Amino acid sequence: MQLFETMVVSLRTPSPASLCPKGTFASLDAVPTGGAECLNGAAWSIAWVLGGSTLGADQWSGSSTLVRDASHSTTYRLRVVGDSLAASGVALTFDYAPIP
């Protein structure tokens, strides 16, 4: 028998229906703004799972989601522009902008 420990990197929000994963895009402007079409037919949710425990960098660069603020009055595009997963922790860098 073996014991495995895994780590899943995700973003979570306390506000319901605030995240809509969109996929991987080359730029922030390329992220679609249609909130009715989340990745793989998913609904708006409280979590965006990026991935698992492979150590390294730039695993999730380009991964994108739509994010609603707490009152759902403003929606933003959010895109990972850099990431690093090391034994000491996780670092993510984002680019974001409100959708007019």
Give domain limits for the chain.
11-98
In sign, the C-alpha dihedral spanning 44, 86, 24, 68 is positive
Q: What is the pTM of this model?
A: 0.85
Q: What is the mean pLDDT of residues 61-90?
A: 91
d(CA 23, CA 21) in angstroms, rounded, equals 6
Q: Note the pLDDT tens digit of each residue in 20-36.
A: 999 999 999 999 998 67
Residue 52 pLDDT more than 80? no
